Amino acid sequence: MLAGVGRGGVAGPPSVPDGHLEPERYYAYLLTHVLPHAINASSPHCMAHMTTIVPEFVHELSHVLLALNQNLVKREASNSFSTLERETLAMMHRLTFDESEAFYGEHADNSENSLGMFCSGGTLANLTALWIARNAKLGGVDKSVESQGAAAALQRSGYAGAAIVGSALMHYSVRKAAGLLGIGEQNVRDVPVNERGRIRGVGCRQVLRQCVDSGFALIALVGVAGTTDCGSIDDLEELADLAEEFGVHYHVDAAWGGALLFSQTHRVRLRGITRADSVTIDAHKQMCLPVGISMLLLRNTRAALAIEKTSNYMLQAGSGDLGRCAVEGSRPGNSLFVHAALNIIGRRGYESLVDESMRRAKFMADQLRRSSEFELLVEPDTNIVLYRYIPSHERGHVAGGGRTAAEQATINAFNESIQRTQFEAGRTLVSRTTLQHPGCAERIVALRAVILSPLVTDDDVLALLADQLAIARGLERR
């Protein structure tokens, strides 16, 4: 057995090996102990995750990236890669905000302005957006919120607290950000969603009004374009109107749904996104790129100055260093993958990927609607499908409601078993979530299919449902 690796069966905690190991022996260990048990992200039978296989050219480019090992924290450590990153951000900014030719002429290579930033994930992009929003609201003279903290800034301005308002289905990264920024998780104010998983303007205005009436500073209104739970899209235009009315930073979390912007057919679903102050888009989700690549795009090119930091040995003002306005310091040149994909796959290529997976999700929803054994729980806005199996003795009710708590609990437990058995059997896979269905007091356990991989066909969708039916019937016989 190798020291430090392959300790299966070896008692005691791992420790750093004293000696060195031939790489070949290490590879052999990986091949036997780790790789066979990794999740096969490229399998068309796996519809559980929001990340998927990456195109072949990315494999090639990853060698280039590692060989050059550029550090995007500053221009001196990345030079042309900093330029490439700014160019990529400009392309994505234009796709999102659709500003004029003159706008991009003026801002695209002006290193004093920022169209946004790359981050290692949507969590960091959301955090960055809310950091900018907090400082814009509570900044004070010389950004005293940064030097003295949020509590002092709130006190100085006479606020009772600070709040972030958005959908009950907001990603939990918003809560992380509220904690980190001294806003407080309990001050993330949830607006209940309807049966489509979207918030309504009326409910949202009510929550915003309550915050203001109780003396709270409104840090941000968050619209979600593709909720993690069920892919639902808030009415971004309606929320833009509200953000304007209340004078609050408008953040759109399009980590999942941002890719719909590539599609002539589906981009209308994001109408209103051009009015956002900031937008999060994950490249490692629907853009099929490696895990750890996300973008925050900013409508106002001066907005990022609210979080600007400089230091003596680097990041000098006027340097154009990308690390000046970012949560992260040293950072890889992953923007290369996005730049390459936008050129190699192109808008029309992404459009067909998006259109195809949206069509396939609708195909799956149609199958479920027609089935007497399954129940479609939410009409999908994007390519995430929530449904559940109804055991034979529980059939004959309307979707979601009309059941006692005990009946719901039985169905919930049954669906948990299906998903667990399916994971153990390993032929097909979906994930599982719970949702609060309007008209039903209890939380409902839902099977959650993410229709993303370009390798998934209609037949794979049918095979998945057939596999789940077989598992369910097997469980019912027991």
Ligand X SMILES: *Cc1c(COP(=O)(O)O)cnc(C)c1O
Question: Should residue 52 be labelled a site residue for ligand X when binding is judged by CB under 6 A?
Answer: no
CB of 123 to ligand X, least distance (A): 3
Among 123, 187, 278, 334, binds ligand X (CB under 6 A): 123
Question: Should residue 400 be labelled a site residue for ligand X when binding is judged by CB under 6 A?
Answer: no
CB of 342 to ligand X, least distance (A): 19
Question: Should residue 255 be labelled a site residue for ligand X when binding is judged by CB under 6 A?
Answer: yes
Question: Residue written as tokens 């949702």?
Answer: 435
Among 55, 121, 166, 380, binds ligand X (CB under 6 A): 121
CB of 118 to ligand X, least distance (A): 12
Question: Should residue 50 be labelled a site residue for ligand X when binding is judged by CB under 6 A?
Answer: yes
- How many residues touch ligand X under the rule CB under 6 A: the total is 16
| Cβ-based nearer residue to ligand X, 382 or 468 | 382
Among 86, 134, 137, 171, binds ligand X (CB under 6 A): 171
Task: Give the chain as a 3 state SS string.
Answer: CCCCCCCCCCCCCCCCCCCCCCHHHHHHHHHHHHHHHCCCCCCCCEECCCCCCCCHHHHHHHHHHHHHCCCCCCHHHCCHHHHHHHHHHHHHHHHHHCCCHHHHHHHCCCCCCCCEEEECCHHHHHHHHHHHHHHHHHCCHHHHHHHHCHHHHHHHHCCCEEEEEEECCCCCHHHHHHHHCCCCHHHEEEECECCCCCECHHHHHHHHHHHHHCCEEEEEEEEEECCCCCCCECCHHHHHHHHHHHCCEEEEECCCHHHHHHCCCCHHHHCCHHHCCEEEEECCCCCCCCCCCEEEEECCCCHHHHHCCCCCCCCCCCCCCHHHHCCCCCCCCCHHHHHHHHHHCHHHHHHHHHHHHHHHHHHHHHHHHHCCCEEECCCCCCCEEEEEECCHHHCCCCCCCCCCHHHHHHHHHHHHHHHHHHHHHCCCEEEEEEEECCCCCCEEEEEEEECCCCCCCHHHHHHHHHHHHHHHHHHHHC
CB of 285 to ligand X, least distance (A): 6
Q: Of the listed pieces 119-127, 181-189, 361-369, 464-472, which binds ligand X according to CB under 6 A?
A: 119-127
Question: Should residue 253 be labelled a site residue for ligand X when binding is judged by CB under 6 A?
Answer: yes
Question: Should residue 419 be labelled a site residue for ligand X when binding is judged by CB under 6 A?
Answer: no
Instruction: Answer whether 114's CB lies under 8 Å from 107's CB.
Output: no
CB of 207 to ligand X, least distance (A): 19
Q: Pattern 341-380, binding to ligand X, x per CB under 6 A? A: ----------------------------------------
Question: Should residue 234 be labelled a site residue for ligand X when binding is judged by CB under 6 A?
Answer: no
> Sign (positive/negative) of CA torsion 126, 127, 130, 136?
negative
Question: Should residue 113 be labelled a site residue for ligand X when binding is judged by CB under 6 A?
Answer: no
CB of 58 to ligand X, least distance (A): 17
Question: Should residue 435 be labelled a site residue for ligand X when binding is judged by CB under 6 A?
Answer: no
Among 96, 113, 173, 367, binds ligand X (CB under 6 A): 173
Question: Should residue 162 be labelled a site residue for ligand X when binding is judged by CB under 6 A?
Answer: no
CB of 221 to ligand X, least distance (A): 15
| Cβ-based nearer residue to ligand X, 50 or 73 | 50
Q: Of the listed pieces 120-128, 143-151, 332-340, 459-467, which binds ligand X according to CB under 6 A?
A: 120-128
Question: Should residue 337 be labelled a site residue for ligand X when binding is judged by CB under 6 A?
Answer: no
Among 43, 187, 228, 335, binds ligand X (CB under 6 A): 228
Q: Which amino acid is residue 360, in one-letter code?
A: R
Q: d(Cα 393, Cα 406) in Å, to the nearest integer?
A: 13
Question: Should residue 278 be labelled a site residue for ligand X when binding is judged by CB under 6 A?
Answer: no
Question: Should residue 334 be labelled a site residue for ligand X when binding is judged by CB under 6 A?
Answer: no
Among 81, 118, 159, 256, binds ligand X (CB under 6 A): 256
| Cβ-based nearer residue to ligand X, 145 or 181 | 181
Residues that bind ligand X (CB under 6 A): 50, 121-123, 126, 171, 173, 224, 226-228, 253, 255-256, 282, 294
